[in-house]
């Protein structure tokens, strides 16, 4: 689960089935997105596993599952893209844009980065904005983009394991 530090009571729940962070505006916003995506992600994983495990599947059955995977993937992508577009002024929106940069065409990505409010454009205070600028630059040089994107994504991974109160 992703943790956004802000004033308030933040509760992290982590178990084998689900992990979430809630209790503040930004954490609740991100938790809602995760809830919206969970069903699609679970279905995608189950269908992908079945493609590899079920050796009795016919070619027609495989094609049908691949078609279902495409539909599920598009639905999950649309949810993520809508979240980003509607929440670009928030840290969860910026975080998701970093995570999902490859879902956007260059022009659409550039417009989203340009639409980030001025108060979130301080690179020294907002690592997501700094990473987005780097991704934007790397997109101009595609041969280096995939390795950079992997590094940028790893740099934003965090884990919350407890309940904390911030002021």
- Range with the lowest mean pLDDT among 12-16, 25-29, 62-66, 87-91? 12-16
What number of other Cβ atoms are within 10 A of residue 64's Cβ? 13
Residue 15 has what pLDDT?
87
| Nearest residue to 116 (alpha-carbon basis) of 107, 126, 106 | 126
pTM: 0.78
* Cα distance between residue 71 and residue 76, in whole Å: 9
CA torsion 123-21-27-127 (nearest 10°) is: 0
Q: Binning pLDDT at 50, 70 and 90, where does residue 167 land?
A: very low
> What value does the mean pLDDT take over residues 124-128?
84
For residue range 8-55, list pLDDT tens digits in order.
999 999 988 788 999 999 999 999 999 999 999 999 999 999 998 998
Q: Binning pLDDT at 50, 70 and 90, where does residue 141 land?
A: confident
Residue 159 has what pLDDT?
45
- The torsion angles phi and psi of 20, rounded to 5 degrees, stand at -150, 155
- The torsion angles phi and psi of 166, rounded to 5 degrees, stand at -120, 155
Average pLDDT, rounded, for the chain = 87
116: tokens are 């980030």
Give start and end residues of each alpha helix (H) in the chain.
25-53, 59-86, 91-99, 106-114, 127-139, 145-155
């Amino acid at each position: 689960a992703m943790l956004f530090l802000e004033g308030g009571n933040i509760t992290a729940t982590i178990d084998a089935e689900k992990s979430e962070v809630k209790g503040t505006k930004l954490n609740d916003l991100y938790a809602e997105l995760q809830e919206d995506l969970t069903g699609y992600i679970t279905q995608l994983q189950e269908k992908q596993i079945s493609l590899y495990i079920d050796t009795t599947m016919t070619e027609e059955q495989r094609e049908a599952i691949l078609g279902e995977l495409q539909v599920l993937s598009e639905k999950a992508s649309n949810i993520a893209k809508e979240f980003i577009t509607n929440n670009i002024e928030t840290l969860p929106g910026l975080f998701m844009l970093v995570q999902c940069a490859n879902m956007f065409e260059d022009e659409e990505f550039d417009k989203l980065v340009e639409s980030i409010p001025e108060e979130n454009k301080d690179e020294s205070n907002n690592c997501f904005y700094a990473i987005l600028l780097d991704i934007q630059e790397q997109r101009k040089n595609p041969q280096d983009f995939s390795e950079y994107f992997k590094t940028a994504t790893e740099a934003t991974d965090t884990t919350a394991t407890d309940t904390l109160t911030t002021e």
